[in-house]
Amino acid sequence: MASTIRSFHRSSISLARSVPSKAHHHQPIDDALFPHGYRAQGIYAGVKKNKASTVLEGGAKDLALITSTTARTSSAGCFTRNVFKAAPVQVSTQVLRESNGRANTVVVEQRVKGMADAWEMVQAADAALTKPLTGHSTLVMSTGVIGQLLPISQVLDGIRSAATSSVAPSTGPGTPRSNFADWEAAAQAFMTTDTFPKLRARSFDLPVGGTSGNRSTTVRIAGIDKGAGMIHPNMGPPHATLLGLIATDAAISPRSLQSALTFAVSRSFNSISVDGDMSTNDTILALANGAADPAMEEIDEETHPEAYEVFKAELTSFAIDLAKLVVHDGEGATKFVTITVKGAPTYEDAHHVASSVSTSSLVKCALYGEDANWGRILCAVGYAPLSTSTVHGLAAQAMQIDPNLVSVSFIPSDGSLPLALLVNGEPEKVDEERAKQIVSADEVTILIDLGGVGDASATYWTCDLSHEYVTINGDYRT
């Protein structure tokens, strides 16, 4: 009888929690918001497996090429810390280092795996486009099934085709430039199990110096990313699969672009999780070409601290928006979950605790089943790996969580009052019906207060774990 009851319960959940459409996350964007001085292309190169519905349209797009047309482009990147780094990660890291952060082109395709193939892609793009450098100017990114090789000849032909068919935009304000349709095509070429192209663009004012003295100018920023599964990035500067490119027409030095990107990634892409698996390919690249204003000096964090801080804040906010799209499109996800931890001594400690809760399979399953089982949240807080310090030559845990100080609350998405579950280590008398209503929403927020051992906080974005996730990944190669 117990077995029959469990089987019925599982079946009822499956019927109740179907995966909602996520198409509304992709909408047209005003052409005026896309940065000057870039050309973006997305084409079908013959690599991606076609579905019958896409054949008449020339096939699903599987190769993107984005290039800056200005002579003073800065570039930066954050890459996976997985010890098994994919060939494009290794090649792009080397190109960034050898070009001193002056690469101007990015190629994205499906399934490149060998070092020789990755270098051939770099060389093909370098040869087909005008290069500002004597060395390599192209960065590469790849996605797909780990270890499967691609038909490199088709990719190389696709790079040449994209390079020659693209019409270079003007770099000046008020003149033709790349538009939403171009960038949308490139975003479509990023996709694998993604259900919608992930594309955003915006503009902001940046205080700058220049020949006319202190003033501000409007700059634009566009970004593409992809990812739905194998998502738990941990990326750092050069030292899923989630791939991303951010391009701006602001002028910023390579080292300061790298510093700003590293900070932004730590607060955005390194703060999302779908399934807790870190890919071998995770890469976020950034280009900045100064095309917004020819008089704009390159911003540097030491010589232009005010402008740099504004740029860093805007980049971080923009990166968070892009990163959230990945979670919204999580494989099989039915809920978007925000987990905020406060009262920690350092950002890193708060981040570790938030990550622990975000990756708990039991927490994620409870959210899928719309079960307000806050005990699982507390459990994940308790085993979070915290920062360590060295005392007398021995590693010691620098932070201690005091269970008597911890509080946990659900924050309703409708703006009503929070529902306290645990206050200073003591369970509250919870209105289970209201708790059920809160976790039944499409978006759920969990607040964890460690009790004031510090004033640092961190936020993670994650999703639930559904039957559909298992189905997708059980059949991934078939």
Active site residues: 241
- Is there a contact between 240 and 281 (Cβ–Cβ < 8 Å)? yes
Tokens representing 235 are 């990326």
Q: Does 289 appear as a known binding residue?
A: no
For residues 436 and 247, what is the distance between their CA atoms, to the nearest angstrom?
42
On whether 70 is known to bind a ligand per the annotation, the reply is no
Amino acid code (one letter) for 241: T
Cβ burial, residue 157 (10 Å; 0-12/13-18/19+): middle
- Three-state DSSP string of the chain: CHHHHHHHHHHHHHHHCCCCCCHHHCCCCCHHHCCCCEEEEEECCCCCCCCHHHHCCCCCCCEEEEEECCCCCEEEEEEECCCCCCHHHHHHHHHHHHCCCCCCEEEEEECCCCHHHHHHHHHHHHHHCCCCCCCCCEEEEEECCCCCCCCHHHHHHHHHHHHHHCCCCCCCCCCCCCCHHHHHHHHHHHCCCCCCCEEEEEEEEEEECCCCCCEEEEEEEEEEEECCCCCCCCEECCCCCCEEEEEECCCECHHHHHHHHHHHHHHCHHHECCCCCCCCCCEEEEEECCCCCCCCCCECCCCCHHHHHHHHHHHHHHHHHHHHHHHHCCCCCCCEEEEEEEEECCHHHHHHHHHHHHCCHHHHHHHHCCCCCHHHHHHHHHCCCCCEEEECCEEEECCCCCCCCCEEEEECCCCCCCEEEEECCEECCCCHHHHHHHHCCCEEEEEEECCCCCCEEEEEEEECCCHHHHHHHHCCCC
Judge whether 348 is annotated as a binding position: no
CA distance 402 to 409: 17
193 is in an annotated binding site: no
Q: Is 316 annotated as a binding residue?
A: no
Of 111, 114, 95, whose CA–CA distance to 103 is shortest?
95
Residue 74 · residue 252 · CB < 8 Å: yes
459 is in an annotated binding site: no
- Residue stretches of the annotated binding site: 192, 226, 241, 331, 473, 478
- Residue stretches of the annotated binding site for substrate: 192, 226, 241, 331, 473, 478
